[in-house]
Chain A
Amino acid sequence: MFLRLVKGALFRQKKKMLMIAFTIALGASLATAMLNVMLDVGDKVNRELKTYGANINVLPKEVSLLDDLYGVSDGSGVLSESELGSLKTIFWAFNIVDFAPYLNVKARISGRDGEFRLVGTWFANHLELPTGEALDTGINNMKSWWSVEGEWPAGDDASAAMAGSIAAERAGLAVGDVISVSTGGGNGESVSLTIKGIFAAGSDEDERIYVPLSVAQGMAKRPGAVSSVEVSALTTPDNELSRRAAQNPKSLSVKEWETWYCTAYVSAICYQIEEVLTDSVAKPIRQVAESEGAILEKTQLLMLLITILSLAGAALGISNLVTAGVMERSREIGLLKALGAGNAPVSRLILTEILITGVVGGVAGYFAGLGFAQIIGQTVFGAAINIKPMVIPLVAILVFLVTLVGSVPSIRLLLSLRPAEVLHGR
């Protein structure tokens, strides 16, 4: 009989129930989309932010110490180029997106006055990793925001160079120019380079001329040496634990240490980099790392707010529709009470109707939400959003709670209905 009553009410009020289901579906779809995006947005935003440069700087220990103590960044210590592949062997190897080594050399350009700062680097280096995998990395990936006139040099082009806009202006360089560079006041061996591109970075990088790392190593007579490495890594926003660990990892308990080490905090990744690069000090570029964390947190907060607001909107919609439904059915409810139905059975009847509608709306909304999530993923991040199974129970609980909360006013109205009033008008 109970099911007949429920079925009858559902089919009799088809339009109203469809409206309630639609309202629930709308709330559920937004919650599904936002929760899926929110749970996946960390990687997406991180990858997006990686296009704006490195967030970890690796220096030789000696250089770092001098820098810390005296603010002098010059020193004799170097890192080994041959060890760089091991960056992709650390615990968070998959979070290392790109890296590029640098070796600074002061040089003169034939026919031009003054010294120029040459920076040896990988433009686009193909790296065979110790793990057997291969990686293409270099500054063409890491400096993707540079405005380049001309083209990026090919990875295997040992005579290519890129000049910063200020350096190019000072030396009167144009794309395609061939220059001869040498160290030691022009007494050293000169190297002939072709300017493949002139870039504008909007920073002091514009005063530099980038050359292949091997060229810089040859000019500096330091084969295999690297003075610094910039690493672009996907990281988790810092928290109290990571900040404590950054100060001194040894201050952590074993459990805390494991948690920290196995979480992609920038400090944990730095620690792991130091483990694989001999005599190195890896430091987060704080502004970048913190901005990433802040942007990520704000993006997630925004998603959470949209989820909460959409669910609150759905609850209000449900509340109005169900209350209107109860008012319309006040005679029927009054009759049930007159026939001896207590408040609990009548409430159970109405709640069952609403929850069935909620399940229908919730399921439809979930699948619609998956579609919305993909639309958001493609539109905003240009990539698919990974569907998180944990969203299913979350949305189910939220839909249940929202439906229940939305039904509260109607249940209160229902409880206050007196058969004498609705059947006889008093």
Chain B
Amino acid sequence: MALLDIKGISKIYGSVKALQNIDLAVEQGEWLSIMGPSGSGKTTMMNIIGCMDKPTDGKVILDGIDISAESARNLTAIRRDKIGLIFQQFHLISYLTALENIMVAQYYHSMPDEKEALQALDRVGLLERAKHLPSQLSGGEQQRVCIARALINYPMLVLADEPTGNLDEVNEGIVMDIFRQLHSEGSTVVVVTHDPEVAEEAQRTVILEHGRIARITYNVGRESRKGE
């Protein structure tokens, strides 16, 4: 059974059809990219998969739960337990250190564990920056803190929205290395991007246009890619 099974979802905002009759399944351990131009429905798709929005029609089954039928309260719990969110804008809390930003996710999930949070920072290469505030970190470093925060509660699905959108080439490389490592360790990753190079890193790329799936491409050739 697919970890994420999207069945005929549509999302309509007033007269705007953001998504129309989307069918998509994401297997456990798969790396999927969602691409498309602005206004194609990428962010709407991410919000729905990330339990931050509900489709107008259709079903979304995540780990066997129909999240399109759950209450807002339950969606919060599902998001907390099953999904790790990575944002283009990082969204770190400005008055908390890098370490504390990670511990916030632990706090709302279960219990803060400083040792584990430090390990997460070490994993993204920022152990020595643990006590720094976001304002004292570069964009790439902030994104790595954001990734460490997304991973701290061992999510089933890592959902990244334009994770390299605000990064330079060097930092983009570092972040993509982390994603490759995640994938190699068996994490399921869904990356929403408009960058073809980032999209090509995934096993499969779904291209959205005007709220519909225009095409799906299968990316082959990378040795480290799992399942090939």
| Residue positions of A touching B, CB distance < 8 A | 1-2, 4-5, 8-9, 11-12, 331-332, 335-343, 345, 418-420, 423-424, 426
Using A4-B100, A423-B87 as known contacts, say yes or no to A339 and B13 having CB atoms under 8 A apart.
no
B91-A418 in contact (CB<8A): no
- Return the contact of A340 from the options B95, B103, B109 (Cβ within 8 A): B109
B43-A1 in contact (CB<8A): no
A345-B44 in contact (CB<8A): no
Chain B residue nearest to A12 (CB atoms) is B95
Residues of chain B contacted by A342 (CB below 8 angstroms): 73, 76-77
Knowing that A4-B100, A418-B53 touch, tell me 7 more A-B residue pairs with CB under 8 angstroms. Answer: A2-B107, A8-B96, A335-B91, A336-B104, A418-B52, A423-B89, A426-B13
Least distance between B158 CB and chain A CB atoms (Å): 14
Residues of chain B contacted by A12 (CB below 8 angstroms): 94-95
Instruction: For the complex, give the distance between the alpha carbons of A313 and B225 in Å.
Output: 64
Chain A residue nearest to B161 (CB atoms) is A424
Residues of chain B contacted by A335 (CB below 8 angstroms): 91, 93
The 5 closest A-B pairs by CB, nearest first: A340-B80, A8-B95, A420-B52, A1-B107, A12-B95
Instruction: For the complex, give the distance between the alpha carbons of A307 and B77 in Å.
Output: 45
Residues of chain A contacted by B47 (CB below 8 angstroms): 420, 424, 426
Instruction: For the complex, give the distance between the alpha carbons of A145 and B198 in Å.
Output: 95
Using A335-B91, A337-B76 as known contacts, say yes or no to A5 and B52 having CB atoms under 8 A apart.
no
Interface: B85 (CB within 8 A) = yes
Interface: B108 (CB within 8 A) = yes
Give the A-B contact count at a CB cut-off of 8 A.
76
Interface: B121 (CB within 8 A) = no
Which of B44, B47, B94 has most A Cβ within 10 Å?
B47
Which of B13, B43, B81, B91 has most A Cβ within 10 Å?
B91
A4-B44 in contact (CB<8A): no
B103-A1 in contact (CB<8A): yes
Least distance between A338 CB and chain B CB atoms (Å): 6
Instruction: For the complex, give the distance between the alpha carbons of A426 and B13 in Å.
Output: 10
Residues of chain B contacted by A426 (CB below 8 angstroms): 13, 43-44, 47, 53
- Return the contact of A423 from the options B76, B80, B91, B94 (Cβ within 8 A): B91
Using A1-B100, A4-B96, A420-B52 as known contacts, say yes or no to A341 and B108 having CB atoms under 8 A apart.
yes
Chain A residue nearest to B89 (CB atoms) is A423
| Residue positions of B touching A, CB distance < 8 A | 13, 43-44, 46-47, 50, 52-53, 73, 76-77, 79-81, 85, 87, 89, 91, 93-96, 100, 103-109, 112, 149, 161
Instruction: For the complex, give the distance between the alpha carbons of A118 and B100 in Å.
Output: 92
Least distance between A331 CB and chain B CB atoms (Å): 7
Residues of chain B contacted by A336 (CB below 8 angstroms): 104, 108
B13-A340 in contact (CB<8A): no
Instruction: For the complex, give the distance between the alpha carbons of A97 and B50 in Å.
Output: 79
Residues of chain A contacted by B80 (CB below 8 angstroms): 339-340
Least distance between A424 CB and chain B CB atoms (Å): 5
B108-A8 in contact (CB<8A): no
Instruction: For the complex, give the distance between the alpha carbons of A57 and B127 in Å.
Output: 90
- Return the contact of A338 from the options B43, B52, B112 (Cβ within 8 A): B52
B95-A11 in contact (CB<8A): yes
Residues of chain A contacted by B13 (CB below 8 angstroms): 426
Least distance between A414 CB and chain B CB atoms (Å): 14
Using A335-B93, A340-B81 as known contacts, say yes or no to A345 and B43 having CB atoms under 8 A apart.
no
Residues of chain B contacted by A339 (CB below 8 angstroms): 80, 85, 104-105, 108-109, 149
Which of B47, B73, B108, B149 has most A Cβ within 10 Å?
B108
Residues of chain B contacted by A2 (CB below 8 angstroms): 107
Chain B residue nearest to A345 (CB atoms) is B108
Residues of chain A contacted by B95 (CB below 8 angstroms): 8-9, 11-12
Which of A11, A338, A339 has most B Cβ within 10 Å?
A339
Chain B residue nearest to A340 (CB atoms) is B80
Instruction: For the complex, give the distance between the alpha carbons of A345 and B77 in Å.
Output: 13
Instruction: For the complex, give the distance between the alpha carbons of A67 and B100 in Å.
Output: 88
Least distance between A356 CB and chain B CB atoms (Å): 15
Least distance between B116 CB and chain A CB atoms (Å): 13
Least distance between A418 CB and chain B CB atoms (Å): 7
Residues of chain A contacted by B89 (CB below 8 angstroms): 423
B77-A340 in contact (CB<8A): yes
Instruction: For the complex, give the distance between the alpha carbons of A224 and B112 in Å.
Output: 91
**What are 5 inter-chain pairs, A to B, with CB distance below 8 A?**
A5-B93, A420-B52, A424-B43, A424-B47, A424-B161
Least distance between B46 CB and chain A CB atoms (Å): 8
Chain A residue nearest to B92 (CB atoms) is A335
- Return the contact of B52 from the options A1, A4, A9, A419 (Cβ within 8 A): A419
B43-A332 in contact (CB<8A): no
Least distance between A137 CB and chain B CB atoms (Å): 69
Residues of chain B contacted by A340 (CB below 8 angstroms): 76-77, 79-81, 105, 108-109
Chain A residue nearest to B112 (CB atoms) is A1
Residues of chain A contacted by B105 (CB below 8 angstroms): 339-340
Least distance between A227 CB and chain B CB atoms (Å): 83
Chain A residue nearest to B133 (CB atoms) is A8
Instruction: For the complex, give the distance between the alpha carbons of A345 and B76 in Å.
Output: 12
Least distance between B50 CB and chain A CB atoms (Å): 8
Residues of chain A contacted by B93 (CB below 8 angstroms): 5, 8, 332, 335
